Amino acid sequence: MEKQVRRSKKGRRSGVKRRKKIEPIYKRPELRSGLERRSGKDRRVQFSNPECGDDEIQEITDVLKSGWLTTASRCSMFEKDFAKFVGVKHALAVNSATSALHLGLDAVGIAEGDKVLVPTFTFTATAEVVRYMKADPVFVDCDLETFCITPTIIENILANDQSLITDNSLKAIIPVHFGGHACDMNSILELCKDNNLKIIEDAAHALPTKYNGRMIGTIGDITCFSFYANKTITTGEGGMLCTNDDNIARRVKIMRLHGINRDVWDRFSNGASWEYDIVAPGFKYNMPDINAAMGIHQLRKAELFQEKRQRIAEAYYESLRDIPGLILPKINCAMEDHSWYLFNVLIEPDKTLGGINRDEFINEMTRRNIGTSVHYKPIHRMTYYRERYELKPEMFPNAEWVYQRCVCLPIFSAMTDEEVDYVIQNIRELMLISFTSNAKTYI
């Protein structure tokens, strides 16, 4: 006779372990909305979304109605506001951070055959601009905790290849403030001063970021910012080059627009002369007023946007810190000094409850309609650089270790409380469950 299955009063099978509901850990009022969590079928959390308001829309509309769409008064206003915000003498708007880096290398005199120290754990733009100059990047490893370049890493490279200094081939360093965490700039400044090296800071992630009370953008010879669509502030596409050096600023201003000796707006404003001269073969890197109009109002919200990102980071730290195998970002600065452009976690498969690895985590988060990303696939793994410079993974053990485990969680100022809650809930469900197919034990 077939064994009868007893049922409880509510109709569930008795003796079968019920799934324990996982409640969100964080209870901070400003991060709670009181709304019920919706299912994954009708909820989607993007990896990043820009936050734009009526001020940006109105300013762009005014530009469109003005009849002057390219570089003019809005660009000049954006530059002045940005220089004041950062605390730097010159801020020069361009069409991307890549353009800013290229102009920076040109302005400090990088030439064919020169070498520039570049971290392998960064976006390709940091390296490709060196090749634009027909110079060669010298790739270096990253720190295991901050993912930034460190003074020790630089010292080791110089000690292992003293010819970089003795033959005067190494001319500059491009430190990347990874994810919004500032590099140890005081020590890097000392190293560069001792070895006569220029510093072009890649601050694409680092607005607003502070180092020892100073805003990033005021320290190196040149600092380059990005206003790409997913950055803390955005102009859609755009960048800014900052410097306190008058000669560098003069060179950049000329080279960003065809080598013309004066601004287009100056030539066509009331009473101006049409005459101009070409003093160098420049580039087409200027920022149009449409983009600058957006940047003016985005900049006014930069600190608010950072605060919102910081609150999300705090919620992640509070709610995910107890999960085995999930390594949260380690920072060597105050929370408020970090821009929180990225929240980059590491997944250690050997320490997770079910052995889930990074790629499985990404696939599962995608299935739950949660966007993630990997920042970055190291440059030494890219075909062009790997083959040209004979790069091997074992040359960059830290970057390799980080790359195989890293994944960025959604973090952006427009992210709602419910979206933060949804991400946390799903990570806890996923990471606190054995990932094997026959597992049914919930923690």
pLDDT in tens, 356-370: 999 999 999 999 999
- Phi, psi of 38, deg, nearest 5: -95, 165
Which residue in 310, 420, 355 sits closest to 25, CA to CA? 420
pLDDT more than 90, % of the chain: 83
Where would I find the H helices in 263-382? 264-268, 289-300, 302-320, 358-367
Asked if residue 13 has pLDDT above 90, the reply is no
Q: What is the pLDDT of residue 271?
A: 58
Closest CA to 421 of 281, 299, 318: 318
Q: How far apart are CA 233 and CA 53, in angstroms?
A: 12
Q: What is the mean pLDDT of residues 430-434?
A: 78
DSSP type of residue 89:
S
Average pLDDT, integer, range 310-333: 98
270 vs 266, 267, 273, 274, CA distance in Å?
9, 9, 9, 11
Query: Which pLDDT tens digit goes with each residue over 368-384?
Result: 999 999 999 999 999 99
Q: Is the pLDDT of residue 17 over 60?
A: no
- The DSSP bridge partners found for residue 260 are 278
Q: How far apart are CA 423 and CA 364, in angstroms?
A: 12
φ, ψ at 152 (rounded to 5°): -65, -45
Indicate the pLDDT class of residue 275, thresholds 50, 70 and 90.
confident
Asked if the model's pLDDT at residue 227 lies above 80, the reply is yes
Q: What is the pLDDT of residue 169?
A: 98
Which has the minimum average pLDDT: 7-11, 336-340, 342-346?
Answer: 7-11
Higher pLDDT, 260 or 433: 260
**What homologous superfamily does CATH list for 29-50+303-431?**
Aspartate Aminotransferase, domain 1 (3.90.1150.10)
Kind of pairing, strands 115-119 and 90-94? unpaired
Is residue 37 scored above 60 in pLDDT?
no
Q: Span 266-270, mean pLDDT?
A: 58
Integer Cα distance of 79 and 74 in angstroms: 9
pLDDT at 264: 59
Quote helix, strand, coil % in the chain, to nearest 5.
40, 15, 45
Domain ranges of the chain: 29-50+303-431, 54-301
- Counting other chains too, the contacts that 152-157 makes at CB distance below 8 Å and 24 or more residues apart are 154/117, 154/188, 154/191, 155/191, 157/117
pLDDT number for residue 111: 98
Give backbone dihedrals phi and psi of 256, rounded to 5 degrees, phi first. -70, -15
Residue appearing with tokens 């050096």? 245
What is the 3 state secondary structure string of 157-168?
HHHHCCHHHHCC
Q: Could you tell me which of 318, 264, 271, 303 has the C-alpha nearest to residue 428?
A: 318
What DSSP assignment string belongs to 15-34?
TSPPPPP---S---GGG---
* pLDDT given at position 14: 37
301 given a catalytic annotation: no
User: What is the pLDDT of the chain when averaged over all its residues?
Assistant: 90
Residue 135 scores a pLDDT above 70:
yes
How high is the pLDDT of residue 267? 54
pLDDT class for 75, splitting at 50, 70, 90? very high
pLDDT at 274: 73
Confidence of residue 354 (pLDDT cuts 50, 70, 90): confident
Cβ(141)–Cβ(120) below 8 Å:
yes
Contact assessment for residue 306 and residue 208, using Cβ atoms and an 8 Å cutoff: yes
How confident is the model over 18-33, as a mean pLDDT?
Answer: 36
Please compute the mean of the pLDDT values over residues 12-17 and round it to a whole number.
38
d(CA 268, CA 332) in angstroms, rounded, equals: 50
Model confidence at 411, pLDDT cuts 50, 70, 90, reads very high
Q: What is the pLDDT of residue 361?
A: 97
Topology adopted by domain 54-301: Aspartate Aminotransferase; domain 2 (3.40.640)
First to last CA, the chain: 37
Residues 231, 253, 301, 308: which is the catalytic one? 231
pLDDT confidence of residue 435: 47
**For tokens 């109105």, what's the residue?**
58
Per-residue pLDDT, 272:
62
34 phi, psi to nearest 5 deg: 85, -5
Question: Among 112-121, 203-212, 432-441, where is mean pLDDT lowest?
Answer: 432-441
**pLDDT interval class at 25 (50, 70, 90):** very low
For residue 31, is pLDDT > 70?
Answer: no
Taking 50 as the threshold, does the pLDDT of residue 237 lie above it? yes
The predicted model gives 148-164 an average pLDDT of 97
Residue 133: pLDDT above 90?
Answer: yes
Strand 406-408 and strand 344-347: the pairing is antiparallel
| CA proximity to 204, closest of 60, 376, 335 | 376
